[in-house]
Copies of this chain bind each other. A is one copy, B any other.
């Protein structure tokens, strides 16, 4: 088991990094305890020192409030006697005499080592607030002072730091400094896990009162330097295991690839043609240009085929076959063999055990999913094949198009980091959506994602939020961490939006792909119905979207043509008796005053006087005429279908539920520095390249 540092070692380490600790000494005898107590000054606290005892109070190992020499000496004996009786087997290294600190606001500062993301720092409210508030935030170590300040200010207990109900403000800077020092300590020493519990914060300064350190190294993943991966644009594709039997996966893949405008080469030693297409006994025999092979043969044959691909100069093997790491040790060995063959022959591998790859702009559906989604600007990476078939099926009806759909499978070679960069590197991609179960190299993902989010919005759905406490709970922080909190922290720091469902992910992705990140958080709502204006206000509050007061100039300009009963407030109720023309005039005013807002939500309801097609065109014009985020929420059903189609053709998503619009805006605003780039609205249907 990992070594636990003693009290004194822990205090020494904290002091080395400039974190204040109580005055303390370990007496050699009863009399020494008295002398030390005198030196430290009263009150003091005496605590047993033992590597074996976790809950010292429970065995009579702590006596507080000692105010005299005699009392200290008696406490020394009392603790030794009490602990010996209550914990007979425990090793006892003595008793520590410490300065007893006054009350203050308690925090927990800790660190843990995550298997994927490495060292992670945590800050949270301490004492009784720990579990009542559930108020611990995480960040990847090392962490900057700025980020720590952000973490501290995000705590639910932060009002207590700022001074609350007449209590004086506490020393926020001391807290930030202490966490920063703890982060330096964590990355500078051989520590695997630690808790400072509590760190007491005062009006001036902060002091660490109890600290547990567990030695341990960060498991360094060996970094291979490999050329960045780019999405293929093949002239020819080999399908190894192509079959004429409709029950076989190799049949479905070949059938799907018949729509590919390049060349398709079935590989099957048993036949000269497969469903009418000339076939080859192996990839070596393929005569034409071929840069990519889709492999759907029994797992044991795969390593040999990958080798042949390398010899033939095929750079990418998409291994659909299952029977690898996911099935146990034998499969894991086979998977390693595949990767050795691939590395040796310069082949990159997608999968194994994946659904494959779709590149709609090239007419490539290299999967066995019968649905080929339309070309578009969303890049989608998924760790579940079922999620891809579901999303593909849904996308057809929803009118959502893709630049690439990639099933990552076992991530034996190409993982989320490489594939995220590759998909983001495709010029058609305007936003990337990830469905993540497990990221195998968290730090590399973090770096790749940071690089990508500087150009494009990335939205992730991470399943497994309910799987908690995976990390060994040898410290408080470790038990709190759980992988989901660490993923959330890493995503946040990498600028990745964390969505709670695929629906939300696609809503946010489509909105950002079209409108870009808003330049600020000032939202205006233009509604043709009072009831929905009030609901919009409720949802804005729920999702943290600010609705500033309308400037007088805007009200004045609107007064010129709106009916006198309009509410002169934000959300605006422009009254339901006007048509698209009234909206158009409101848009003109908002365009004129576009310095006053960052986001506009336009709500319309079915009405005899409102032509849905006209309002859609007006919204498109509104979006094109401003650099701002315009969010259409045309409510209703089939009567809005033509209007929604017009929006989609111009890359604008519609939000048929107002709540979803605000949820999407709120999600976008969680990335405050989100790269602001609005895509010029596309005209008409997108075409295959």
Cβ contact within 8 Å between B133 and A132: yes
Which positions 518-533 of chain A face chain B at CB distance < 8 Å? Answer: 528-532
Across the interface, which residues of B come within 8 angstroms of A531, CB to CB?
Answer: 382-384, 386-387, 435, 437, 463
Which positions 415-453 of chain A face chain B at CB distance < 8 Å? Answer: 435, 437
Across the interface, which residues of B come within 8 angstroms of A540, CB to CB?
Answer: 466
* A501-B657, A531-B387 given; A394·B465 CB < 8 A: no
Which positions 465-510 of chain A face chain B at CB distance < 8 Å? Answer: 465-467, 500-503
| Min distance, Cβ A65 to any Cβ of chain B, angstroms | 16
Which positions 240-274 of chain A face chain B at CB distance < 8 Å? Answer: 252
Cβ contact within 8 Å between A395 and B637: yes
Cβ contact within 8 Å between B128 and A397: no
* A538-B466, A541-B465 given; A393·B637 CB < 8 A: yes
* Residue A159 CB within 8 A of the other chain: yes
Q: Within the assembled complex, what's the spacing in Å between the Cα atoms of A282 and B258?
A: 73
Per-residue 0/1 for A623-646: is the Cβ within 8 Å of any B Cβ (1 yes, 0 no)? Answer: 000000000000111111000000
Which positions 143-178 of chain A face chain B at CB distance < 8 Å? Answer: 156-157, 159-160, 164-166
* Residue A107 CB within 8 A of the other chain: no
Q: Within the assembled complex, what's the spacing in Å between the Cα atoms of A165 and B395?
A: 50
* A159-B131, A160-B128, A531-B386 given; A393·B466 CB < 8 A: no
| Min distance, Cβ A420 to any Cβ of chain B, angstroms | 18
Q: Within the assembled complex, what's the spacing in Å between the Cα atoms of A252 and B608?
A: 10
| Min distance, Cβ A613 to any Cβ of chain B, angstroms | 15
Q: Within the assembled complex, what's the spacing in Å between the Cα atoms of A307 and B247?
A: 76
Across the interface, which residues of B come within 8 angstroms of A466, CB to CB?
Answer: 537-538, 540-541
* Residue A535 CB within 8 A of the other chain: yes
Which of B58, B133, B385, B639 contacts A133, CB < 8 Å? B133
Q: Within the assembled complex, what's the spacing in Å between the Cα atoms of A606 and B541?
A: 37
Cβ contact within 8 Å between A393 and B638: yes
* Residue A534 CB within 8 A of the other chain: yes
* A393-B637, A394-B636, A635-B394 given; A464·B371 CB < 8 A: no
Q: A639 — nearest CB in chain B belongs to which residue? A: B393
Which positions 377-392 of chain A face chain B at CB distance < 8 Å? Answer: 382-387, 389-390, 392
Q: A658 — nearest CB in chain B belongs to which residue? A: B501
* Residue A659 CB within 8 A of the other chain: yes
Q: A164 — nearest CB in chain B belongs to which residue? A: B128
Cβ contact within 8 Å between B383 and A638: no
Across the interface, which residues of B come within 8 angstroms of A670, CB to CB?
Answer: none
* Residue A81 CB within 8 A of the other chain: no
* Residue A117 CB within 8 A of the other chain: no
Across the interface, which residues of B come within 8 angstroms of A636, CB to CB?
Answer: 389-390, 393-394
* Residue A396 CB within 8 A of the other chain: yes
* Residue A101 CB within 8 A of the other chain: no
Across the interface, which residues of B come within 8 angstroms of A679, CB to CB?
Answer: none
| Min distance, Cβ A15 to any Cβ of chain B, angstroms | 28
| A interface residues, how many (CB within 8 angstroms) | 73
* Residue A370 CB within 8 A of the other chain: yes
Q: Within the assembled complex, what's the spacing in Å between the Cα atoms of A437 and B538?
A: 12
Which of B132, B396, B608 contacts A638, CB < 8 Å? B396
* Residue A398 CB within 8 A of the other chain: yes
| Min distance, Cβ A431 to any Cβ of chain B, angstroms | 20
* Residue A8 CB within 8 A of the other chain: no
Cβ contact within 8 Å between A532 and B386: yes
Across the interface, which residues of B come within 8 angstroms of A64, CB to CB?
Answer: none
Which of B132, B387, B637 contacts A157, CB < 8 Å? B132
* A129-B132, A384-B530, A393-B636 given; A463·B608 CB < 8 A: no
Q: Within the assembled complex, what's the spacing in Å between the Cα atoms of A398 and B640?
A: 13
Across the interface, which residues of B come within 8 angstroms of A606, CB to CB?
Answer: 371, 389-390, 392-393
* Residue A607 CB within 8 A of the other chain: yes
* Residue A549 CB within 8 A of the other chain: no
* Residue A368 CB within 8 A of the other chain: yes
| Min distance, Cβ A528 to any Cβ of chain B, angstroms | 7
| Min distance, Cβ A58 to any Cβ of chain B, angstroms | 8
Across the interface, which residues of B come within 8 angstroms of A389, CB to CB?
Answer: 605-607, 636
Which of B164, B382, B383, B605 contacts A386, CB < 8 Å? B605
Residues of A within 8 A of B (CB): 57-58, 128-129, 131-133, 156-157, 159-160, 164-166, 252, 368, 370-371, 382-387, 389-390, 392-398, 435, 437, 461, 463-467, 500-503, 528-532, 534-535, 537-542, 576, 605-608, 635-640, 656-659
**A-B CB proximity, top 10 nearest:** A384-B531, A386-B529, A393-B636, A397-B637, A394-B637, A466-B541, A393-B606, A463-B534, A465-B538, A393-B637
Excluding A386-B605, A390-B635, A394-B635, 8 further A-B contacts by CB distance (< 8 Å) are A133-B133, A384-B532, A386-B530, A463-B535, A464-B537, A465-B541, A466-B540, A501-B657
Can you pick out 29 interface pairs between chain A and chain B where the beta carbons lie within 8 Å of each other? A57-B166, A58-B166, A128-B164, A128-B165, A132-B156, A132-B160, A371-B606, A383-B531, A384-B529, A384-B532, A386-B576, A386-B607, A387-B529, A390-B606, A390-B636, A393-B635, A393-B637, A393-B639, A394-B636, A396-B637, A396-B638, A397-B637, A463-B535, A464-B537, A465-B538, A500-B542, A501-B535, A501-B658, A501-B659
